[in-house]
Chains A and B, each alone.
Chain A
Amino acid sequence: MLNILWPAFILISFLYGILQGNVEAINQTIFESAKNAVELTITFFGTLCLWNGIMKIAQETSFTIKLTKLLKPAIDFLFPEIKHNEKAKEEISMNMIANILGLGNAATPLGLKAMKTLQKENSKKDTVSNSMAMFIVINTASLQLIPTTVIAIRASLASNNPTQIIFPVWGATIAAFITAVLATKIMITIDKKRKNSFDFKNKK
């Protein structure tokens, strides 16, 4: 994707800049941007490592087990079709917890493991099953307790209150999550009804 977007951004800017006669501004920006990228990286280096360290502690304690227990009813509701597949349920909750803790690097491998377990139960191997659909949709919703990266960026830009956004982020995340999950549930139900009536016709 970026292999198309990146050159497009640069070429369009260059052409537009020539037409508008402000190539000089572009020239300045190129070097300023490089400097900004270094400055930003250095300033959020510390905060990001700090969070990863703290969340690593959380991951290794029973804090995680407590969270898994809290998640259990939610997981049974979200994935009714794998009620008896303990392994899949455990992997899914580990992935969700890593997401909640903001450990993206840990969440992805756990999520892929869960996908492999779900694929074993999947009847059509080239199509997502209902459980997989729900699982992917949940992973596209950002279920993060503390939006660490944004806070790190805000702190590096000398915000008066970098953490001011936490509650609004929770509000927006929860709304987005509920919408996506409900939409998925509705689509699964519609699909099932369609399939049932199809089977019924076939029997006739």
Chain B
Amino acid sequence: MNFIQFLSSSAIPIVIAIIVIYGLLEKNKVYDTFVEGAKEGMEIVVKLFPTLLGLFIAIGALRSSGVLDCIIQFISPITNVLHIPSEIMPLAILRPISGSASTAVATDIMNNFGVDSKIGLIASTIMGSTETTFYTIAIYTSCVGIKKIRFVLACALLGDLVGMLISVVIWGFLS
């Protein structure tokens, strides 16, 4: 566990160092490139904010009105059998549908149950290991005018499901 923690916390500095050294060796103007990239990052954040705001309010309302607890209670018999914490279910359902909505739900979960709690860690792992499947399929097919996607959705969702189950199982072992 300590070793994993050491590796996790040194992974990022090591990756940064390797990339910067690479840039230097190839005489890239690393600082200029960095600033340019950071500027693009700024655009992402600015674009993300309005959606995040809208969804935070909607999900906050769901939680404070008691709807979310109601849903969780309703599905808990199923999730208990599978040993999945039912608090995770709203995230699992929204994850393939909307990136910003699932970011908002995951943040809400981490805020409520604690970032470093088991549920917070599972939510983080699900967010890191899965994608907004529906959105991805929609833009990739619509750009070339494709209407029939055959088995693509089923295979992609199967992958998401496995990613989520593994996230739950891993933290069942680690904590």
Contacts and interface: CB of A to CB of B under 8 A. Distances in A.
Interface of A: 1-2, 5-6, 9-10, 12-14, 16-17, 20, 22, 25-26, 28-30, 32-34, 36-38, 40-41, 44-45, 48-58, 60-63, 104-105, 108, 111-112, 115-116, 118-119, 124-128, 132-133, 135-137, 139-142, 144-147, 149-151, 153-154, 157-169, 171-173, 175-177, 179-181, 183-184, 187, 191
Contact of B38 (A52, A105, A191): A52
B150 A163 contact: no
Interface in B3-51: 4-5, 7-9, 11-12, 15-16, 18-20, 22-23, 26, 28, 30, 33-45, 48-49, 51
Contact of A41 (B48, B111, B140, B164): B48
Contact of B139 (A9, A112, A128, A184): A112
Contacts of A62: 22, 26
Given A26-B64, A187-B154, 9 more contacts: A16-B65, A30-B60, A38-B53, A128-B146, A133-B150, A159-B116, A164-B5, A172-B164, A184-B152
Interface of B, helix, strand, loop or mixed by DSSP: helix
28 contacts: A9-B58, A9-B59, A12-B62, A12-B65, A14-B61, A17-B64, A25-B65, A30-B57, A33-B53, A56-B34, A58-B22, A60-B28, A108-B139, A125-B145, A139-B136, A150-B124, A161-B9, A167-B4, A168-B125, A168-B167, A169-B128, A169-B167, A172-B167, A176-B162, A176-B166, A180-B156, A181-B159, A184-B155
Given A9-B62, A63-B22, A184-B151, A45 B45 contact: yes
A101 B127 CA distance: 16
A142 to B, nearest CB: 4
Contact of B128 (A111, A133, A144): A144
